[in-house]
């Protein structure tokens, strides 16, 4: 049974050594691995606690419902 968990034990030892010898690289990888998990897990949790998404931003400028007058007085002729 001990040989079944041997690869995990050696991986754990390797990670411990890397955390001690190269902490910046190790913790950068840890934070990078947590990012996608949070991107998938956080939105359902937010909705569960009552967060309502804001309405989408308008992508265009509304035009008025009237006839458009030609511009005069700016030397357009």
For 14-43, how does the pLDDT look when each residue is reduced to its tens digit (9 = 90+)? 889 999 999 999 999 999 999 999 999 999
DSSP symbol at 3: T
**What are residue 60's phi and psi, to 5 degrees?**
-140, 170
- What is the gyration radius of the CA atoms in the chain, in angstroms? 29
Token digits of residue 69? 């007058």
Percent of the chain with pLDDT over 70: 88
Q: The whole model's pTM is what?
A: 0.51
The CA distance from 24 to 2, in Å, is: 32
């Amino acid at each position: 049974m001990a040989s079944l968990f041997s690869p995990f034990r050696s991986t754990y030892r390797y990670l411990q050594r890397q955390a001690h010898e190269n902490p910046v690289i190790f913790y950068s990888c840890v934070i990078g691995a947590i990012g996608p998990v949070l991107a998938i897990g956080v939105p359902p949790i937010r909705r569960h606690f009552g967060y309502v998404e804001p309405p989408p931003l308008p992508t265009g400028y509304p035009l008025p419902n009237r006839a458009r007058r030609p511009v005069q007085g700016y030397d357009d002729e």
